[in-house]
Structure 1
Amino acid sequence: MPCPDLKLIHYKMKRLCRKFIDTKRSSEIRFSFSDDLLSK
């Protein structure tokens, strides 16, 4: 059985993490933006 390509797995994991962090950050920005609108 061939050994799995660890670099490829690592790359996919990194992309997944980045995607997750990006969505989290964008949602935080959205929340802060709506808070700003509410406070005015």
Structure 2
Amino acid sequence: MFEKRELKNRKRRIKSYYEGFEEMENLKDILIEMKRYQI
């Protein structure tokens, strides 16, 4: 029972980590676009 809960928490942690990583990639793309339009 405890292991199942621990596994679910770990999956949630990994999922939130990947979502945060995708947001970072989006921010990088936005910064690149902003630099392109400033020139």
Q: Pick the TM interval, shorter chain.
A: 0.7 to 0.9
| TM-score normalised by L of structure 1 | 0.77
**Count of matched residue pairs:** 37
Structure with the larger helix share: 2
Q: Superposition RMSD on alpha carbons, in Å? A: 1.5
Q: Whose radius of gyration is greater, 1 or 2?
A: 1
What residue ranges of structure 1 are gaps of 5+ in the alignment? none
Q: TM-score, normalised by structure 2?
A: 0.78
Structure 1 segments of 4+ aligned residues over 4 angstroms from their partners: none
Cα deviation for residue 10 of structure 1 reads 0.6
Q: Distance in 1 between matches of 2:21 and 2:11?
A: 15
- Tell me, which stretches of 5 or more residues in structure 2 are unaligned? none
**Kindly, what percent of the aligned residue pairs are identical?**
14
